[in-house]
């Protein structure tokens, strides 16, 4: 039923061709990575209106976009820690484990989604022995980026105002602990903010005019 409801949502907003393409990858992706993360999730009702305007409802990144971005990583990248910002139910963390990451962090401002992500993280850790996943319920604006993080995944979890604050946190971490950093950015609406902060676009893709992503790097 989740696939059916999600298909109609996609078809309504994105068109029939894109909906079919995404659902096909959803079915294959959920099987390949061993999780159930499909479906939408609305913002917590307790958030004040001035906060709700900065965040979008939860919609998982489609498997095509996510795997296309992960395909750009090097073996050295996978030796670092992956940080998924706006981790939702933990889809990207499952993908990360499938691609060889052993240490991953997922953060989200929704307590309910963090609980689901934690459940999925346990399944992923069982599926990939030696993998460690941490889920934190926190607003990205107040999250201190650990020095071991070398790859950050984003699927437009918030608006430009919050993105600027988050970028400042990333820059602070890089200043305190200089290291290379890669940003895997699906649907990169605020790519220019990262470029203004000194990141360089090193890879990009467009599929069916709707699915977009890029890799941004800072050596």
Q: How many domains does the structure of the chain reveal?
A: 1
Q: Which of 14-28, 41-55, 122-136 has the lowest mean pLDDT?
A: 41-55
Domain that holds residue 62: 2-218
Unique residue bearing structure tokens 């993908």: 95
> What gap in Å lies between CA 163 and CA 152, rounded to an integer?
13
For residue 38, what pLDDT is reported?
Answer: 83
List the helix and strand counts (H, then E) for the chain: 8, 7
> Which has more confidence, 53 or 31?
31
For residue 59, what pLDDT is reported?
Answer: 80
Q: What percent of the chain has pLDDT over 90?
A: 74
Q: How many CB atoms are located within 10 Å of the residue 168 CB?
A: 12
CATH code (residue 84): 3.40.50.150
What percent helix, strand, coil does the chain show, rounded to 5? 45, 20, 35
For residue 68, what pLDDT is reported?
Answer: 98
pTM: 0.91
Instruction: DSSP letter for 77, please.
Output: G
For residue 54, what pLDDT is reported?
Answer: 47
- Smallest CA-to-CA distance from 151 within 105, 198, 107 is with 105
Q: pLDDT tens digit string along 38-55? A: 876 566 554 555 555 545
Question: Measured between alpha carbons, how far is residue 32 from residues 35, 52, 63, 140, 173 in Å?
Answer: 8, 34, 10, 29, 34
For residue 156, what pLDDT is reported?
Answer: 83
């Amino acid at each position: 039923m989740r696939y059916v409801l999600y298909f109609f949502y996609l078809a309504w907003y994105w068109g029939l061709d894109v909906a079919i393409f995404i659902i096909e990858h959803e079915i294959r992706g959920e099987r390949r990575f061993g999780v159930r993360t499909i479906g939408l999730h609305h913002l917590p009702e307790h958030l004040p209106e001035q906060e709700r305007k900065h965040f979008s409802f939860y919609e998982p990144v489609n498997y095509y976009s996510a795997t296309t971005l992960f395909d750009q990583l090097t073996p050295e990248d996978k030796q670092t820690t992956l940080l998924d910002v706006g981790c939702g139910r933990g889809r990207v963390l499952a993908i990360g484990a499938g691609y060889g990451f052993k240490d991953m962090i997922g953060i989200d401002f929704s307590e309910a989604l963090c609980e689901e992500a934690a459940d999925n993280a346990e399944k992923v850790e069982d599926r990939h022995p030696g993998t460690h996943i941490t889920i934190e319920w926190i607003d990205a604006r107040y999250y201190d980026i650990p020095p071991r993080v070398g790859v950050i995944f984003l699927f437009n979890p918030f608006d430009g105002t919050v993105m600027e604050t988050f970028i400042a946190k990333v820059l602070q971490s890089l200043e305190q602990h200089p290291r290379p950093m890669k940003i895997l950015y699906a649907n990169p609406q605020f790519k220019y903010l990262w470029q203004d902060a000194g990141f360089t676009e090193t890879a990009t893709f467009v599929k069916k005019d709707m699915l977009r992503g890029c890799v941004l790097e800072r050596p």
